[in-house]
Amino acid sequence: MHDLILVLKKDEIKKKTEIIAHEISSYYQDRELIVIGVLKGSFIFLSDLVRKLTIPVKVDFIRVCSYGYSDSSSESINLTKGIEIDVKNKDVLVIEDIVDTGLTLSWIVDYLKAFNPKTLRVCTLIDKIERRKATIKIDYAGHVAEKGFLVGYGLDYAEDYRGLPDIYHLKL
Ligand code: IMP
Ligand code: MG
């Protein structure tokens, strides 16, 4: 068992999710939005977020694996599940749990651009800025964190802690 330090309580996550959902609902009003969750980490955030949207939405998922393990973000990315909905000429919003170096998200953006969506925006629950390597525009971020390894509310450490309702800093 690791030392876990509380970073975001579930009530704060809820508030932040509501704010983002409101922004997204206004921005995409009268449009047909497809949200694409990045598995596995985004599954809880996405499910809470879509229930707060006041616009119709279609949901798809993508899964990428990075070589490396646990706390190390990847240099090398492998697609293990691609999109199943046709996004050509559609408004697409990628939903991430956390952006660290940005390499995963920038790979995903390139992958999705190849399907010629009408628009492509990015939403993450946590924008962790210290180790950013890729230049990437994040359109919606729930919470900005300087650094540290975070777990809970979908985020894992070697597949543990995803089910925690709050978000913690895990001391390695
Ligand atoms: P990036 O490519 O470095 O931006 O890393 C992106 C992916 O690494 C995220 O989608 C997470 O799956 C994982 N990751 C990065 N930082 C953390 C963290 O603090 N906790 C849990 N997973 C993380
Ligand atoms: Mg992720």
How far apart, in whole angstroms, are the C-alpha atoms of residue 105 and residue 119?
A: 16
Q: Which of 150, 158, 24, 151 is nearest to 95 (CA)?
A: 24
How high is the pLDDT of residue 1?
78
Three-class secondary structure of residue 65 per DSSP: strand
Per-residue model confidence as pLDDT tens digits over 76-94: 899 999 999 999 999 999 9
Name the active-site residue from 91, 97, 100, 156: 100
Q: Please give the helix or strand (H or E) that residue 162 lies within, else none.
A: none
Q: How confident is the model at residue 74 (pLDDT cuts 50, 70, 90)?
A: low
Q: Please say whether the beta carbons of 41 and 167 come within 8 A.
A: no
Q: Hey, whose CA ends up nearest to atom 3 of ligand 1?
A: 101
What separation in Å is there between the alpha carbon of 62 and the centre of ligand 1?
15
Numbers of helices and strands, H then E, in the chain: 3, 9
Pocket-testing residue among 100, 104, 106, ligand 1, by greatest number of atoms within 8 A of Cβ: 100
